[in-house]
A and B are shown apart, each in its own frame.
Chain A
Amino acid sequence: MSELKPWLKLISARPGRLCIGALLMLAALLSGLGLLALSGWFITETALVGLLLAASLPATINLYVPGGGIRFFAVSRTVSRYLERLYNHDTVLRLLTDIRVALFRELASVGRVRRRELTGAQWLSRLTNDVDALDTLYLRLIAPAALAAFVTLLVIVLPAVLFNSAIASGIALILGVAFLLATLAVYLRTAKVTSRQSDQQESLRTAVIEHLEGFAELTAAGRTGKHGAWLLRQAHQSSSQQVKADCRIGWHQAGSNLLINLAAVFALWSGFALFRSGEISGPVLVLIPIALLGLAEVYGMLPEAFGKLGATQASAARLNRDCREDAFSVAAATTVLPEGAALVANDLAVKYPENAPLFTHFDLQVKTGERVGILGHSGSGKSSLADVFSGLLMPSSGACANLPCAYLTQQTVLFEDTLRANLLLASPSATDAELWRILERVDLAERFRSEGDQLDTWLGSSGSRLSGGEARRVALARVLLSPAPLLVLDEPFTGVDRVTREKITLQIDAWLEGKTVISLAHAPDALPGTDRVVQLGL
């Protein structure tokens, strides 16, 4: 359970809200129970009085209190249920925000090397599922379980007062077993199955992705059918596990229902003894079993919620792992930046574990205001070198020192937001005029002036409303906007056609006056203007 601790702490940061929500839930549950129990009492009472009246014997009955009570419960059940749902959905949405913000801050503090393994589409979709599992932890599990326990106690106190303590303890025993059956037992019986299923799901996902990546080879070899059938079997196995868990949940639900009903039968049977001896009246005899029958609804949600607890724990454990700090950080040699230099790299090497080094003994000195181009074929380690310059990656040996830099990564990253918001990341205080000026430099001003929303044009997910070249130029504009004295541009013109590329190269030349620029590309014509060119990997 320890994996849930940080998340429970986060959830319980709103104690007032949780309490009010729980009280509203309690009001709804008690109104439901009260309505049935009081109605049962009332009917029995009237039946007895009716018999006396029919026999012309003197009898009185107070119709106003129970009648009023029944009407009150009917209304309070509706109202409290409505308020409870509204209020608790509000709470869930608030918790959702809390969890996401906290997780985001955690992830932001995790080192880049770790995150590199974590940014695939696969990881992102898993992250969504895992966060979703935690959102409803309070509403589905904690609150209903606590309330069920509380209502159970109330329902046990009732026979203790009205019947006797022996009967009450018998009922308590049966209900205790029913409660355990609906909660802890479900958890114990499904935790292993669901966590196995959750693991299977993960390896299945990997296998499906491998299948799709190798689809051409498999098709050529005529094996897509056989391999696909194997995947189907794996998927089927995983759903069989889920079915197994579902069946167990279902049987536990049925079992706890059975016990609740048996508790009602027990209360009725033992109540008859008291009734015959005149210790209790008929209406009271009926009230308790009917109240007990109403408990079934209170317990209804529990088995399923506890059946998912195993998976929720697994989700929490995965999220905790994702947020784990890097165990090690390489303490690379440091070097001092000499006067007039923008970047000094001494004897750099970058090597990923189990792979040959990308490059070794890389030396570079860049004076302020210099424009340096670095050429290398794909796979030669250009992007890793740029990562080292920008401080995202620690070199495996050597040292690097440089002025503060703005870095255009090889991958174009735009946010699902307005053009303005995307640009302002680099320089939050930039004016609209400045933004237009930089858009002109990258030949995009006309493109966005024609849009109705101008700078507020929505860029869509990952800039999907732009072409690849346009998105690249927005990212380039953003880096150009940055006040940093050193710019590192990794393949700045990916997806930009030759004519535009040449035009932009000319237009940004004046803008870059006084700045130091290091640009990296696979071919000379993909570089903006340079004073000198360095070849990487020769």
Chain B
Amino acid sequence: MTELQVESGAVKRWLSGLASGNRRWIQGSVAAGTFAGIATIVQMIFLARIVHLGVIEKASSSVLAPLFTGLVLAIVFRAVAQGVQTHLAARCSEQVRRTARRQIHQHWRHRGPLLLGQTSAGSLAREWIDHVDALHGYFARFLPQMALSLIVPLIILVLVFYLDWLAGIFLLLSAPLIPLFMALVGMGAEKLNQQHFETISRLSGQFLDKVRGLTTLQLFGQTDGAAELIQQRSDHYRRITLKTLRVAFLSSAVLEFFASVAIAVIAIYIGFGLLGYITYGPSSDLTLFSGLLILLLAPEFFQPLRTLSQCYHDRAAALGAGAEILARLGDEPAPNPLAGATEDTIDKRLSVSNPLTHRESVELNSVSLALRADHPILRDVSLSIRKGEVIALTGPSGSGKSTLLHLLAGFLTPDNGNIDLFGKQAGSFAFGWLGQSGFLVHGTWADNLRLTSPDVSDVAIETALRNVGLGPLLDSRKEGIFSTVSEDGQGLSGGQARRLSLARIFVADYDVILLDEPTAGLDSDSEIFVLEALHKLALAGKTLIFSTHHYALLALANRVLLVSGGEVTDV
């Protein structure tokens, strides 16, 4: 979890940045909403006109028929505009989410595998999927509604003023300046939402905490106690939350109250005006048409604001999710050699296999690195590795073997000195990497190998799999390399998974292959296959560099380097 606090201003700026890229959609949605509002007004005009003509002037149905047609047209137009509005709003949110996901993914790539590995894949995935989805309501509902809650009431207000300025003043007074109202609603709703979301997330946090530790609770025979605790805590939070809700709901009650009272006051004013009881002001000009129209428009005047107050939780959700995403994006970017490059150029640089340049060796010149200020891992290391050499890095754990591999891979950049692999920068070309944990994706064996080498032939895939000793397993599957890796929902063992990763290296024909403890934690079968496979790669003239303690691997190497005390020496 990121404990980093992100100020809400920054989140709002980020959200509006996302919005500005999709302004067209939002504007379209607002335009459609405005049309729907205008259609509503037109509908009410027809309705009031029909009632006035029919009831007061006793007009015949042939006179009313065209007006009824207009009324139905306005209603249909209103429905279409409403439909288009949600359509555009949904599209807008779709685009925004795509942009946000792209941003986050770009950030992942800039951070590099090493720093990324420090956060659990589960929470990163949750940010990428769920948090981004939480932005939906903000862009699809809140933003357009924000504009609409200004535009539509304003149009209605102008019309009502034209019909009867006193009624217009009633409306204006009952919504004492719409911005003020919105602020009021906003403050109340924001507080309410914060409280509500906090409570809910605390409750679900506690619940998950207990579920996570269910086995431990069971071992101590405490599951009943825990269930009671969940109950008690939930109840406690409920009572606290309700206290705040009592106050928080008041702000929307105020909006409701003004809306209701405005309608009541206008109805009574118009009624008395029509009776001729009011001698002051414009009321003597009131007719059933203008009176009824004002009454019908009064609820429409408040409706956009009420809708907006219902959308406030969308805003709170987006701000919450945005804060977490931004905290991640705000993580200090890794000093990655590829940082700053755009998405495409990275891939291009990596995938274009430049012909080997003049330098036929891997060179480290006075490389130093300290992961923490007072704790140097490597001090002034200079090293030259010839092409085709098989290098074993050994040394006590924590001495910097992995760090050296990460430097060669370009996952880390040195504080000082430079690293040069066959005349190229570390990490600027494709190479083989085998980490301590194997990695496989849901799909077929072929999918798994084509993940890193999309263009290889079926035969090459099968050969590679046999080279790492997965032949027998492959033979047992009906469809060979086209059968899924994890049939019946069962995965591979750790050793098999690592061999699958090794097969990827086999199939790809890399010049440089870096392996971090390739045999650690393997069963003896897998170990033999890995050793054999590495031997084959060495015979094929690949430059292999691996860290290990394993005697058989040390024997395989034609040069053993001891990494210890920040120095690298030949053994």
Chain A residues within CB distance 8 Å of chain B? 35-36, 38-40, 42-51, 53-54, 61, 63, 66-67, 70-71, 73-75, 77-78, 81-82, 85-86, 89-90, 93-94, 96-97, 100-101, 104-105, 107-108, 112, 115, 119-122, 124-125, 127-129, 131-132, 201, 203-210, 212-228, 231-232, 235-236, 239-240, 242-243, 246-247, 249-251, 253-255, 257-258, 261-262, 264-265, 268-269, 272-273, 275-276, 282, 285-286, 289-290, 293, 353-356, 377-379, 390, 392, 406-407, 409, 413-416, 425-426, 428, 461-462, 464, 478, 482
A39 pairs with B295, CB closer than 8 A: yes
Asked if A214 meets B439 with Cβ closer than 8 Å, knowing A82-B249, A89-B245, A261-B75, the reply is: yes
Instruction: Check A413/B264 contact, CB under 8 A, given A93-B238, A220-B432, A220-B514.
Output: no
Q: Could you tell me if B241 and A93 are in contact, using CB atoms closer than 8 angstroms? A: yes
- A225 touching B124, Cβ below 8 Å: no
**A250:B210 contact, CB within 8 angstroms:** no
**Nearest CB of chain B from residue A512's CB, rounded to whole Å:** 18
Give complex CA distance A140, B219 in Å: 40
Cα A45 to Cα B323 with chains together (Å): 57
Cβ contact of A77, chosen from B209, B256, B432, cutoff 8 A: B256
- Choose from A39, A104, A204, A223 the contact partner of B226 (Cβ within 8 Å): A104
Task: Give per-residue flags for B204-232: 1 if the beta carbon is below 8 A from chain A beta carbons, else 0.
Answer: 11111111111111111011011100110
Which B residues lie within 8 Å of A119 (CB)? 211-212, 214-215
Q: How far is the CB of B271 from chain A (nearest CB, A)?
A: 4
Cβ-neighbour of B215 out of A44, A78, A413 (below 8 A): A413
User: In whole angstroms, what is the CA distance A231 to B451 when docked?
Assistant: 12
Query: A104 to B79, Cβ gap below 8 A?
Result: no
Are B212 and A462 within 8 A (Cβ)?
Answer: yes
> Quick check: B55 and A243 within 8 Å, CB to CB?
no
Residues of A within 8 A of B331 (CB): none
Pull 21 A–B residue pairs with CB atoms less than 8 Å apart, ordered by A: A36-B299, A48-B55, A48-B56, A50-B276, A70-B267, A89-B242, A96-B234, A119-B212, A208-B128, A214-B439, A215-B108, A220-B409, A257-B78, A257-B82, A261-B78, A268-B50, A353-B490, A415-B209, A415-B213, A425-B217, A478-B220
User: Do most interface residues of chain B lie in helix, strand or loop, or is the interface mixed?
Assistant: helix
Q: A112-B215, A407-B219 are in contact. Are A216 and B343 (CB under 8 A)?
A: no
Are the C-beta atoms of B56 and A232 separated by less than 8 Å? Answer: no
Closest to A421 in B: B229
Given contacts A44-B292, A81-B253, contact A254 B442 (CB under 8 A): no
Interface flags for B265-284 (1: CB within 8 Å of A; 0: not) read: 01110111011100000000
Nearest-Cβ distance from residue B362 to partner chain A, whole angstroms: 15
A207 in contact with B75 given A67-B268, A243-B93 (CB within 8 Å): no
Known A-B contacts A247-B87, A425-B217; the reply to A236 vs B256 at CB < 8 A is no
Specify the chain B residue showing the minimal Cβ separation from A225: B347
Contact call A39/B521, Cβ cutoff below 8 A = no
Say whether B292 contacts A203, CB under 8 Å.
Answer: no
Partner of A258, one of B79, B86, B196, B430: B79
* B 100-120 contacts with A by CB, 8 A: 101-102, 105, 108-109, 112-114, 116-117, 120
Assess whether A35 is in contact with B264, with CB atoms less than 8 Å apart: yes
- Residues of B contacting A61 with CB < 8 Å? 275
Q: B338: nearest residue on chain A (CB-CB)?
A: A219
**Complex Cα distance A379/B495, Å?**
10
Identity of the chain A residue whose Cβ is nearest the Cβ of B74 in the assembled complex: A261
User: A406 contacts B441, CB within 8 Å?
Assistant: no
- B350 nearest CB neighbor, chain A only: A222
Q: Is B10 an interface residue (CB 8 A)?
A: no
Which of B64-72, B379-387, B555-563 is the interface stretch? B64-72
Q: Would you give the shortest CB distance from B342 to chain A, in whole angstroms?
A: 10
CA–CA, A364 and B522, complex, Å: 25
With A221-B453, A261-B78 known as contacts, the answer to whether A461 contacts B490 (CB < 8 A) is: no
Interface residues of B in 331-389 (CB under 8 A from A): 343-344, 346-347, 349-351
- Alpha-carbon separation in the docked complex, A105 to B196 (Å): 25
A154 CA to B85 CA, complexed, in Å: 31
- Give min CB distance, A259 to chain B, whole Å: 9
Closest CB in chain B relative to A426 CB, distance in Å: 5
- Lowest 9 CB-CB distances: which A-B pairs, in order? A222-B350, A250-B86, A121-B122, A220-B433, A39-B267, A214-B439, A221-B452, A97-B234, A216-B113
- The answer for the CA separation of A448 and B222 in the assembled complex, in Å, is 25
A246 & B90 in contact (Cβ 8 Å cutoff): yes
Question: Chain B 390-409, CB within 8 Å of chain A: the 1/0 string?
Answer: 00000000000000000001
| B237: nearest chain-A partner, CB-CB | A93
B54 interface contact, C-beta 8 A = yes
Cβ B122 vs Cβ A209 within 8 A: yes
**In the complex where A115-B214, A208-B128 touch, is A275 in contact with B222 (Cβ < 8 A)?**
no
B121 touches A209 (CB 8 A): yes
**What's the nearest-Cβ distance from chain B to residue A204, in Å?**
6
Q: Within 8 Å CB of B347, what residues of A?
A: 222-223, 225-226
On whether the beta carbons of B86 and A251 are closer than 8 Å, the reply is yes
The reply to whether B51 and A286 form a contact with Cβ atoms under 8 Å apart is yes
A213 touches B346 (CB 8 A): no
Counting residue pairs across A and B whose Cβ atoms lie within 8 Å, the total is 410
Bound together, the chains give a CA A240 to CA B98 distance in angstroms of 10
User: Which residues of B have CB within 8 Å of A90?
Assistant: 238, 242
Residues of chain A within 8 A of B82, CB atoms compared:
250, 253-254, 257
Give B241's nearest chain A residue, CB to CB. Answer: A93
A354→B51 CA distance, assembly (Å): 79
Contact between chains at A413 and B256 (CB < 8 Å): no
Determine if A120 and B204 form an interchain contact, defined as CB atoms under 8 angstroms apart: no
Q: In the complex the two chains form, is A128's CB within 8 Å of B204's CB? A: yes
Inter-chain CA distance A46–B270, complex, in Å, is: 9
- Report the Cα distance A333→B30, complex, angstroms: 72
- In the complex, A29→B236 CA distance in Å? 31
Contact B71 A265 (CB under 8 A): yes
A236 — nearest CB in chain B belongs to which residue? Answer: B98
Verify B109–A70 contact, CB threshold 8 A. Answer: no
B235 and A44 within 8 A (CB): no
**A44 adjacent to B264 (CB under 8 Å):** no
B351 smallest CB distance to A (angstroms): 5
Considering the chains assembled together, what is the distance between the CA atoms of A3 and B85 in angstroms? 34
Closest B residue to A223 by beta carbon equals: B452
Whether the Cβ atoms of A53 and B117 lie closer than 8 Å is no
User: Shortest beta-carbon distance, B435 to chain A, in Å?
Assistant: 5
Contact check, A224 vs B109: say whether CB atoms are below 8 A apart.
yes
- Complex contact B116–A286 (CB within 8 A): no
> Once the chains bind, are A209 and B125 in contact (CB under 8 Å)?
yes
Q: Could you list 19 further interchain pairs (A-B, Cβ under 8 angstroms) beyond the known A221-B350, A221-B453, A254-B82?
A: A36-B263, A47-B55, A71-B264, A82-B249, A82-B250, A89-B241, A119-B211, A120-B122, A216-B411, A217-B501, A217-B504, A220-B409, A228-B105, A246-B89, A250-B89, A377-B521, A413-B213, A415-B210, A425-B222
| Residue in chain A with minimal CB distance to B514 | A220
- B208 near A104 with CB under 8 A, answer no
Listed residue (B80, B109, B439, B522) with the most chain A CB atoms within 10 angstroms of its CB = B439
In the assembled complex, the Cα of A73 lies from the Cα of B299 at a distance in Å of 14
Q: Are A227 and B451 in contact (CB under 8 A)?
A: yes
Interface residue from B246, B267, B288, B452 paired with A218 (Cβ < 8 Å)? B452
Q: Of B105, B207, B253, which is within 8 A of A104 by CB?
A: B207
By a CB distance below 8 angstroms, the chain B residues around A425 are 216-217, 220, 222
Give the residue name and chain of the A residue nearest to B258 (CB): A78
B126-177 CB contacts (< 8 Å) to partner A: 126, 128-130, 132-133, 136, 140
What separation, in Å, do the CA atoms of A231 and B291 have in the docked complex?
Answer: 59
Contact A272 B222 (CB under 8 A): no
CB distance from B436 to the nearest CB of A (A): 10
Q: What CA separation (Å) do A535 and B492 show in the bound complex?
A: 26
Is the CB of B493 closer than 8 A to any CB of chain A?
A: yes
Q: Are A246 and B113 in contact (CB under 8 A)?
A: no
Chain B residue nearest to A93 in the complex (CB):
B238
Contact present for A212 and B121 (CB under 8 Å): yes
Complex CA distance for A210 and B219, rounded to whole angstroms:
32
The answer to whether B523 has its CB under 8 Å from any CB of chain A is yes
Contacts of A257 in B (CB 8 A): 78-79, 82
